[in-house]
Structure formats: C-alpha cells, structure tokens
C-alpha cells in the first residue's frame, strides 16, 4: 500500500482524525476549508506531529506514537508542493531547481516534461502562477522523493494554467507512477485526478 495513515490531532477546538489505506495513484483528500486536509499533509511530511496513530508510506513507518518512531522531515523523502509556490525569490529558477536536486544535478527529462527549460534564467517574481507552480513541482521532483504531497496545486490559476498543471499531475500518476496524496475542495479536480477520493468532513 502506498499510504497507510491512521492519525488524530487536536488543533484548538478542532479534532482532526483520519484512517486511510490507499494503493497506487493519486489519493485525494476532499472536503471544505477547515476540514484538516492540509494538517494531514503536514503530519505525513513531518511538519506537524500527530497526537496519536501511525503513518506508513510504501511500507515504511514514518510515525508510530506507540513505538515512539518519528522520522525526521529530511529523511521522509516527501516531495511537498505547497499552495503557494514558496520559491526562493533571491534565486533564479535554475538555482531553485538545483537546491531541490542537490548533488544529483538537474534532471533534464523532468525539466522537459514540465516545460520549464525556457524559465531557467528567470527570477521567481517574473513567473506567472502556472509557471511558478510547475517550477515548484519540478523542485519537489528533483529532490528524488518517494512520494508527493500536493496542497491545492490548482488553486488561484486560470483555466489554461489549471489544465497545464492537471496534465503534469496526470503524467506523474500514469507515467512516473509516484504515489501522490493531494488536497482539494474542488469536486471536478477530485473526479478527474483521483484514483480514489477520501471525504473529510468539515
């Protein structure tokens, strides 16, 4: 199984609880704002510690409260694409991607399928929303992740840019075949991209 998640967490007056077992493809966490979807991604990434439960990805235990296992963020091999691109504004696109790639260097096949080769010498502030999103996906992929976490990757994009990113996600699902855990509150996105959809109540 790609994702085996059973966690609970209290944040203020809100209790987040999820039991999920999912195989290959894109697993969608679907629900209204405030349902805790992004918090689940943060727990899987290691940015937020669950109060109880377990997180396993690809058979590897990343968190187990009972066994006191909590794998550090940098060892979880999560490629995380946040709602905002979060590119380093003082680095050009090439340097942003190199930061993700580390000693491995740039993967020109990934750069080609993301159609970002012509952006390498641009500054992040000069990018459109769709371009910045493709670069942020590229940086996540170049970190050699075991899985991807996508938080509302289509938000704030116009129809043409949304279609660009949808095609990228479909490529990751169908060709690259990386396990993906994706957050959305858009039913159309969930239906088109999701191998399975997990409803989180508001």
At residue 14, does pLDDT exceed 90? Answer: no
Share of the chain above pLDDT 90, in %: 73
Q: What is the mean pLDDT of residues 183-192?
A: 93
Average pLDDT, the chain: 92
Reported as a pLDDT band with limits 50, 70 and 90, residue 157 is: confident
Let me know: does 81 contact 136? Beta carbons within 8 Å. yes
Overall CATH class of domain 3-199: alpha beta
Place of tokens 């727990």: 43
Which residue(s) pair with 69 in the sheet? 64
Place of tokens 């909590």: 70
Torsion of CA 196, 199, 44, 86, to 10 degrees: 90
pLDDT score recorded for residue 101: 75
pLDDT score recorded for residue 63: 98
pLDDT score recorded for residue 33: 83
Cα(179)–Cα(193) distance, rounded to whole angstroms?
13
pLDDT score recorded for residue 113: 83
Q: What is the mean pLDDT of residues 25-50?
A: 94
pLDDT digits (tens, 9 = 90+) for 112-153: 888 899 999 999 999 999 999 999 999 998 888 999 999 999
The DSSP output letter for 66 is T
At residue 56, does pLDDT exceed 80? Answer: yes
As a whole number of Å, the CA-based R_g of the chain is: 17
At residue 28, does pLDDT exceed 90? Answer: yes
Reported as a pLDDT band with limits 50, 70 and 90, residue 1 is: low
At residue 29, does pLDDT exceed 70? Answer: yes
Cα(95)–Cα(64) distance, rounded to whole angstroms?
36
Share of the chain above pLDDT 70, in %: 98
Furthest-apart CA pair in the chain: how many Å? 49
Cα(96)–Cα(111) distance, rounded to whole angstroms?
13
pLDDT score recorded for residue 76: 96
At residue 8, does pLDDT exceed 70? Answer: yes
At residue 51, does pLDDT exceed 80? Answer: yes
pLDDT digits (tens, 9 = 90+) for 74-117: 999 999 999 888 899 999 999 999 887 776 777 777 788 888 99
């Amino acid at each position: 199984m790609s994702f085996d998640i059973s966690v609970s967490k209290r944040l203020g007056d809100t209790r987040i609880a999820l039991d999920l077992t999912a195989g290959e493809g894109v697993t969608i966490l679907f629900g209204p704002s405030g349902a805790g979807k992004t918090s689940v991604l943060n727990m899987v990434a290691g940015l937020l510690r669950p109060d109880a439960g377990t997180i396993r990805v690809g058979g590897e235990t990343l968190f187990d409260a009972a066994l006191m296992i909590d794998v550090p963020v940098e060892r979880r091999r999560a490629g995380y694409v946040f709602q905002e691109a979060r590119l380093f504004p003082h680095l050009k696109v090439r340097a942003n991607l190199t930061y993700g790639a580390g000693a491995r260097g740039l993967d020109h096949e990934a750069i080609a399928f993301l159609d970002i080769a012509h952006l390498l010498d641009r500054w992040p502030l000069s990018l459109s929303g769709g371009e910045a999103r493709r670069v942020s996906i590229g940086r996540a992929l170049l970190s050699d992740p075991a899985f991807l976490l996508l938080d509302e990757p289509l938000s704030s994009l116009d129809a043409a840019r949304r279609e660009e990113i949808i095609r990228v996600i479909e490529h990751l699902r169908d060709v690259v075949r990386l396990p993906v855990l994706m957050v959305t509150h858009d039913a159309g996105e969930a239906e088109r991209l999701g191998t399975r959809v997990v409803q989180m109540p508001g």
